[in-house]
Amino acid sequence: METPLIVIKDIGRKYVIGAEVIHALKSVSLDINKGEFVALMGPSGSGKSTLMNILGCLDTPSKGDYILNGTNVSHMTDNELAEVRNKEIGFVFQTFNLLPRSTALDNVALPLIYAGANKEERDRRATAALENVGLEHRVTHKPNELSGGQRQRVAVARALINNPSIILADEPTGNLDTKTSIEIMGLLEEIHSKGNTIILVTHEEDIAQHAHRIIRMRDGLIENDYLNTDIKTVSPRLSKLQASGDDFEQI
């Protein structure tokens, strides 16, 4: 049997604020296999964001173990975690998190700078990544010259540039209109179909329905963890049309 890509054992996270101790995560255990498309859901205060931060190596647990791709990252230093993030995790954020004065090409190439790639290799790989998300015609454009959907495509290309073990998408459609949300979910489906592991954090039911597995949290615990038998998909033809702009308003 294949070893899970992610193994979380009895993870807990508490925060001390003055005299109060807040248990954001109480005891969470789960496995995520390579190639899964998982939606992580929960109301405000459920522990969803805390778990996302731990999965993304942006925070460490107060107790328990987090094993990512065979390595226990639970008690690493900040510098060690930064290296893991750059190699193993691709982030897609609700607010895109693009450098406003840099071109699409330079934004996508940014993780390669930290990885030590030379400029020629950075430009070559970033150009290919932008082509893969349908933005070869926007390489020299800056974020303020792009639509919301195009900016999120740049963010997806940046997330993929280092061939990470997982794509962690935090509310990736939160700032997008309905039509553009469909486009981005179609892109994530396409990325998943190529074998990538995706963890989607969302509070939107219709967005979560694109995932093959849904984990619901409440009060710092996993409330439900089940396979989605009613998967919502975007047709390949629609995704291609939206990516190219054919028969659609440019988004």
Report pLDDT for 1. Answer: 67
Classify 203 as helix, strand or coil. coil
Pairing of strands 63-68, 213-218: unpaired
Residue recorded with tokens 């967005």 = 207
Report pLDDT for 236. Answer: 53
* pLDDT confidence bin for 235, thresholds 50/70/90: low
Higher per-residue confidence, 30 vs 243: 30
Question: Lowest-pLDDT range, 184-188, 192-196, 203-207, 245-249?
Answer: 245-249
Token pair recorded at residue 138: 């926007």
Cα gap 114→227, rounded to integer Å: 37
Higher per-residue confidence, 138 vs 237: 138
Mean pLDDT, the chain, whole residue set: 91
Type of residue at 6 = I
Answer yes or no: is pLDDT of 233 > 90.
no
Q: What is the mean pLDDT of residues 73-91?
A: 93
Report pLDDT for 114. Answer: 85
Answer yes or no: is pLDDT of 28 > 60.
yes
Full set of structural domains in the chain with CATH: 34-60+77-244 (3.40.50.300)
Answer yes or no: is pLDDT of 243 > 60.
no
Q: What percent of the chain has pLDDT over 90?
A: 85
pTM: 0.89
**201: which strand partners?**
40, 170
Read off the pLDDT of residues 93-147 as tens digits, 9 standing for 90 and up.
999 999 999 999 999 999 999 888 999 999 999 999 999 999 999 999 999 999 9
Read off the pLDDT of residues 53-81 as tens digits, 9 standing for 90 and up.
999 999 999 999 999 999 999 989 999 99
User: Nearest CA to 105 among 131, 134, 130?
Assistant: 130
Helix (H) or strand (E) holding 92: strand 89-93
Report pLDDT for 58. Answer: 94
Answer yes or no: is pLDDT of 245 > 80.
no
Answer yes or no: is pLDDT of 214 > 80.
yes
How big is the chain, counted in residues?
Answer: 251
Q: Give DSSP secondary structure letters for 11-66.
A: EEEEEEETTEEEEEEEEEEEEE-TT-EEEEE--TTSSHHHHHHHHTTSS--SEEEE
